[in-house]
Amino acid sequence: MAAPPVAIEHGAVPPPRNRWRLRLLAALAVLPNFATLVVLLIVWQFASKVWLPRIDPQMAVLMPAPSTIAVTAAGMIASGELFYHLVASLKREAVAFLFAASAIPLGIMMGWWRLVHDQVNPIMEILRPIPPLAWIPLSILWFGIGDEQNEFIIFLGIFFPILVNTIVGVKNIDPILIRAARSLGASERRLLARIVFIGALPQIITGIRIGLGVGWMALVAAELVGASSGLGFVINDARSMLRTDIIVVGMLTIGLIGLLIDAAILALSRRLLPWSLAMRK
Amino acid sequence: MGRLAVSGVSKIYGDRHAADSVVALRDVTFEVPDNQFCSILGHSGCGKTTLLNIAAGFERATAGAVTVDGAPIDLPGWRNTMIFQEYALFPWMSVSDNIGFGLEMKGVSRKEREDITRHYIGLVGLEGFDSKLPYQLSGGMRQRVAIARALAVQPNLLLMDEPFAALDAQNRAFMQEELERIWQREPKTVLLVTHSIDEAIKLSDCIAVMTSRPGRIKEFVKVELPRPREEDDPSYIALKRRLRELIRDDFVSQ
């Protein structure tokens, strides 16, 4: 007699209400890890508000207290100023990403056809080690100061990580899957779209994560020199007015948004590509 | 339809005049009538997988030809589809999408694809698992999906490369019975590569025993035992002994 097949359970999922409670407990459990941070903030607050003003009032300006920063941040959020510059930066990052996404088809072609790889790779290997920031002088002459110049610098930051990871992703696809698809009658075009692209997708997404991170760093640098809006502009502009509190708010925002972009892509890829995590185990 | 003819197939790796060229197959010739199940039995390295790869269109014969109903095989495709030892399921596709993949490549409409997919999910006993992803299935179940996926395209010739070698002994015996049941329900011309004498006897109408270096057909054995085949049947035992000796000779001469 044939026994009925049994599926392997992968981590039973508790009911939703229970799951939220578990998440809350997990969040509470990490609270003690912030003890040192809190102590540091208190020391910082004391130094900026009490100690530094007493010995040298000018020094106190260079070291805004956490409370001052919080008040400034609240003001900048309320006035919409922070949001305006954040959107300007995100828009540049997004436009640059759209252009940099051309690295995906290029990477697939380079990973798939040896001839393309051999022809294009030397060009890429010459361009890739040049830091995006080294392009700033030339890009200002090409595009002038403004969005295009900024986007070009960011584009360079995003493009190469995506390209390199796409090539690796294509080359790492299990060759048996290619054979299986061919044996089921897949044409070359279908093979590329349905097997090669999707098989490389986890690695492509890794490239996008790295690329957006590099791009975000390049963005701030590009805005420092060639923009009249954006988070990089905010912190550079505040420097000329000695508004250290605004500088720190801008810096924290840049860090936080970079973290959020990365976390969002990671969460998205976990949800959309559950199989890729299972394969890595 | 699917009369398989292997005629004078040789495969030489490397320059055939060079000293380091390897003769994998030499002048292999046999025929398998329509809807018969044929096994290629031999030790590893005897060229049986090379022969299968030629039949699948993955490799080219140096000389000779493999034909199905007179048409030579030169490219991989659904007409001569292959089932792999490692299952080779697409990890991002559900069970039904995996089974439907070949049909989609053939240009079968979505509606028809769903009907055919449902039929084969039933045939291999995977009802209720349609939307599972391969990593959520056991090895035996994955191989059922692979079998269903290959049958769904209605190949003229079905090739199997040690399909149950990755399974444990119990699962293997069970899957052999299942394969026989499925094949009896939907007969196909099958070419199965195995090194297991029992697997060959249980499943096959004919067995091509291969010897190595160079790979040749040592003997082409017709199996006329009634199905299902019982291991304690005296004629089963006699055939097993004969096949074992054919293979052992080769092992000793190596």
Instruction: Flag whether pLDDT at B118 surpasses 90.
Output: yes
Asked if B129 and A7 come within 8 Å (Cβ–Cβ), the reply is yes
Find out whether B175 and B100 touch, Cβ atoms under 8 Å. no
- The domains of chain A are located at 87-280
Task: Kindly list the residues from chain B whose CB atom is less than 8 angstroms away from the CB atom of residue A275.
Answer: 91-92, 133-135
Average pLDDT over residues A49-74: 89
Task: Name the 3-class secondary structure at B9.
Answer: strand
Mean pLDDT of B62-69: 94
B174 contacts A184? CB cut-off 8 A: no
Of A131-145, B13-27, B139-153, give the lowest mean pLDDT range. B13-27
**Sheet architecture: strand order including B63-68:** B22-32, B4-13, B63-68, B71-72
Do the Cβ atoms of A185 and B178 come within 8 Å? no
Domains and CATH numbers, chain B: 1-79+157-254 (3.40.50.300), 82-154 (no CATH)
Residues of B in contact with A7 (CB under 8 A): 129, 132, 136-138, 141
Mean pLDDT of A210-239: 91
Question: Closest Cα of chain A to B137: distance in Å?
Answer: 5
Question: Residue B158 pairs with which residues in a beta bridge?
Answer: B81, B190
- Contact A8/B178, CB-based, under 8 Å? no
Q: State how far residue B250 is from chain A, nearest Cα, in angstroms.
A: 30
Q: How far apart are CA A88 and CA A76, in angstroms?
A: 15
Percent of chain A with pLDDT over 90: 71
* B191 vs B228: CA distance, rounded Å: 19
Closest residue to B91, CB basis, from A4, A190, A275: A275
A190 to chain B: which residues are within 8 Å by CB?
Answer: 105
Supply the ipTM of this predicted assembly: 0.91
Average pLDDT over residues A152-157: 95
- Answer whether A179 sits within 8 Å of B126, measured CB to CB: no
The answer to whether the CB atoms of B137 and A7 lie below 8 A apart is yes
DSSP summary character for residue B29: E
Q: Do B138 and A7 touch (CB under 8 A)?
A: yes
Task: Work out the minimum CA distance from B128 to partner chain A, whole angstroms.
Answer: 10
Among B91, B92, B149, whose Cβ lies nearest the Cβ of A184?
B149
Query: Residues A142, A199: contact at Cβ < 8 Å?
Result: no
Average pLDDT over residues A37-43: 94
Per-residue DSSP letter, A31: G
Q: Over range B194-221, report the average pLDDT.
A: 91
What confidence tens digit (pLDDT) does each residue in B228-251 have? 899 899 999 999 999 999 888 766
Position B254 pLDDT exceeds 80:
no
Cα(A98)–Cα(A218) distance, rounded to whole angstroms?
Answer: 16
A35 CB-contact burial (10 Å; exposed 0-12 / middle 13-18 / buried 19+): exposed
> What band does B50 get if pLDDT is binned at 50, 70 and 90?
very high
Q: Which residues of A touch B137 (CB under 8 A)?
A: 7-8
A-chain residue closest to B150, CA distance: A184
Over residues B136-159, the mean pLDDT reads: 94
pTM, two decimal places: 0.85
Closest CA to A208 of A162, A258, A248, A145: A162
Whole-angstrom CA distances from B2 to B27, B67, B72, B126, B160 are 22, 9, 12, 27, 15
Give pLDDT tens digits for A156-180: 999 999 999 999 999 999 999 999 9
Per-residue confidence (pLDDT) for residue A2, from 0 to 100: 44
Most B CBs within 10 Å: which of A13, A176, A183, A204, as the mutation test of the B interface? A183
Identify which of B33, B65, B32, B61 has the alpha carbon closest to the alpha carbon of residue B47: B61
Residues of B with CB below 8 A from A199's CB?
92
Distance from CA of B138 to the nearest CA of A (A): 6
Residues of B with Cβ-Cβ distance to A182 under 8 angstroms: 57-58, 76-77
- Cα of B125 to nearest chain A Cα, Å: 8
Rounded Cα distance between B71 and A114, Å, is 32
Mean residue pLDDT across chain B = 92
Report whether pLDDT(A14) > 80.
no
Question: Looking at beta carbons, which residues of chain B come within 8 Å of A6?
Answer: 138
Type of residue at A51: W
Nearest residue of A to residue B80 by CA position? A183
> Which of B84, B93, B130, B135 best tests the A interface by mutation, with the highest count of A CBs <10 A?
B135
Which pLDDT score is estimated for A171?
96
Residues of A in contact with B150 (CB under 8 A): 184
In whole numbers, what is the pLDDT of chain A averaged over residues? 90
A87-280 CATH fold:
MetI-like fold (1.10.3720)
**C-alpha span between A268 and A258 (Å, rounded):** 16
Best mutation target among B75, B101, B191 (most A Cβ atoms within 10 Å) is B101
